[in-house]
Amino acid sequence: MNLQQKVYKKLLQVPKGQITTYGELAKAVGLKNGQRAIGKIMNKNPYPVIIPCHRVVMSTGKIGGYAYGEHVKTKMLSDEGVKIENGKILELENKLYRF
DNA sequence: CCTCAGGCTTGCC
DNA sequence: TGGCAAGCCTGAG
């Protein structure tokens, strides 16, 4: 199974209203320090419709990047119940999903 | 708060 | 086939 396959399957486990970090996701698929790899995969993700890559944020609590624009990612998250302020996740620890 | 180097995969040459 | 650069990051300095 490709890395991307594992990645999006893991990502699909994240319920609406919750989020995860690139690092956590990387570990979840077997990579200890593959955050950038995850970012690359998300950026070029083959299934933009079924993969909620907007639920992945940086470990620092910031939004991070997004293929269609950070503001779009920000809006989608707030629509799902994740409050964001100044590009940062509010109550990150409380919204984080543990695999 | 900003800069720098590390670690992982994919894509093009 | 083999090498190189780049990407939605991260933790230390």
Q: Which of A54, A28, A60 is nearest to A42 (CA)?
A: A54
The residue range of the domain holding A9 is 3-95
- Residue A39: its pLDDT value, please? 94
* CB of A33 lies under 7 Å from some atom of strand B: yes
Number of domains in chain A: 1
- Residue A47: its pLDDT value, please? 82
| CATH number of domain containing A43 | 1.10.10.10
Give the CA A86 to C1' B8 distance in Å: 30
> Whose structure tokens read 């939004």?
A63
Give the CA A85 to C1' B8 distance in Å: 31
- Residue A14: its pLDDT value, please? 96
- Residue A73: its pLDDT value, please? 95
Window A4-33, strand C contacts by Cβ < 7 Å:
21-23
Low-confidence ranges of chain A (pLDDT < 70): none
- Residue A64: its pLDDT value, please? 94
H/E/C letters for each residue in A13-50?
CCCCCCEEEHHHHHHHCCCCCCHHHHHHHHHCCCCCCC
Per residue in A2-22, pLDDT (tens digit) is 899 999 999 999 999 999 999
- Residue A60: its pLDDT value, please? 94
- Residue A48: its pLDDT value, please? 82
